[in-house]
Structure formats: C-alpha cells, structure tokens
Amino acid sequence: MHDLLDALDVAVVVSRQAPWQLAALQSALAADLSREWSGGVLVVVDGASGAAGRAARATLADHHPRARRTILTLPRRLGTAAAADLALAEATGHYVALIDAATRPSPGTLRALTEALEADHDALWAAPRSAGLAVLRRLAFLDLGGFDPELRGTAAVGDLARRATIEGWSLLTVPEAHAHRDGRPDHGASRRARRAPEPPHRRPWSGNALPLWLPRARRAVIREDLA
C-alpha cells in the first residue's frame, strides 16, 4: 500500500549545531518516518565545522536504511536561504520537509503537515506554530524562485510568503503539529557573518532568478550519496 510519506523528502540545513543535536534530530526523524520509509534525505552542511560535518554524515549513515541519503557540503557558509534552495533543487519528492538542524519534530508531525498539504492543493507550505520546520510543495516552491539567497531568516521567509500570496497560494499553520527547537548558541556579534545592504537598484527575487543563480551556486557544492 502506498504511504503518503514516501512522497516526502527531508532537507536538513546544518550550520552551527553540535553533534548531539544532529544525532537527536536523526533519531526523531527515524521515529517519525519508520524504517520502511523510502523517501530521500538531503543534509546540507553549510560552512559548518569539520566536527559538525563528520557528525552530519555519521548520524545520517546510521538512519533511514531504505531512503536515498545525500550530503551536500558547502565549503563556505551561504546562509539558510541559499542552502534550502540548493536542497530543494536536488530533491525529487512531491513534498519536502525543510528542517533547521536544531529542530526536532514530535511523533506524527511530518505526517500531519504532509496530510494538510495533500488536503489543500492551494497551500504552498504547512508548518507548526514553532519555527524551524515546514513541509513545502517542492515544484511550486521552485516555480516561485524559492528563497532569495541574499536574505536571511525571517526576511527570506517573509519575502517568499509575499510572492506566494500574490500568486494565490495559501500558507498553513497546523496546530496539532509540534516541534522542539533548541536555542541558538551565542557566537558573539563579532563572529557573525553580515551581508552588505541590498543595493537599491537590485531587482526583486522571482521565479526567473533561481535558474540563473543555481548553476553558479552548485559549482562549490561537494555531493556525497551514501550507500
């Protein structure tokens, strides 16, 4: 019998998380998806430390034996929005659960979010009330241009939400879906990567911009498919 979750891929963005957080996330995903799940997992190591990169690979190798498992390593940090764009462009599932590596879904959450999208064909994404996790309709996300890779955090999400709403998509919050998100480590303001202010003449991001950006961004990506 077809399981709806087999149409779901999982994309995890790793940046500054500790190895124990990556292990906890993969254990939570395995509990939520089951050993028989045959979707795909893409872990994007976004300029993370060597220890985090090794932990990302090891914890993925220990879980999801029937899934397609891929590590995408970015030698320098591009930011969550850019990493998410690369992951969703590589994914093949009808739906993709985009997860910050410091977030752990509660049992049943991925199914609840995916079922919400399956029931509402006008919805681009479904998310719990807490941040750090959303299930997206992959092709629609790409057609809209994904996230603007020059924006960060809530600015990137808000920009995509604005474009999606203009195109008639709805955005779902699913109260019965829950996830835990760890607090972010304090690395100090002096060590935070800062982007230059957006030039006033820069065109707004759109569906036409993503196909132009992707080939250049992919040149730096190191891909490893786990057996």
Query: How far is the C-alpha of 10 from the C-alpha of 99, rounded, in Å?
Result: 8
Query: How far is the C-alpha of 19 from the C-alpha of 59, rounded, in Å?
Result: 9
How confident is the model at residue 196, as a pLDDT?
Answer: 41
How confident is the model at residue 175, as a pLDDT?
Answer: 96
For the chain, the straight-line distance linking the first and the last C-alpha, in angstroms and rounded, comes to: 25
Please write the tens of the pLDDT for every residue from 88-143: 999 999 999 999 999 999 999 999 999 999 999 999 999 999 989 999 999 999 99
How many other C-beta atoms can be found within 10 angstroms of the C-beta atom of residue 167?
A: 12
Hey, what domains does the chain have and what are their CATH numbers? 4-181+203-226 (3.90.550.10)
- What does each C-alpha distance from 155 to 83, 129, 131 come to in angstroms? 15, 18, 13
How confident is the model at residue 202, as a pLDDT?
Answer: 67
How many other C-beta atoms can be found within 10 angstroms of the C-beta atom of residue 72?
A: 21
pLDDT class of 197 with cuts at 50, 70, 90 = very low
Strands (E), 90-143: 95-100, 103-105, 123-127, 133-137
Reduced to 3 states (helix: H, G, I; strand: E, B; else coil), residue 154 is helix
In contact, 33 and 119? CB cutoff 8 Å: no
pTM above 0.85, yes or no: yes
Six token digits for residue 113: 């979010």
Q: Which residue did the predictor score with more confidence, 225 or 153? A: 225
How large is the average pLDDT for residues 75-83? 95
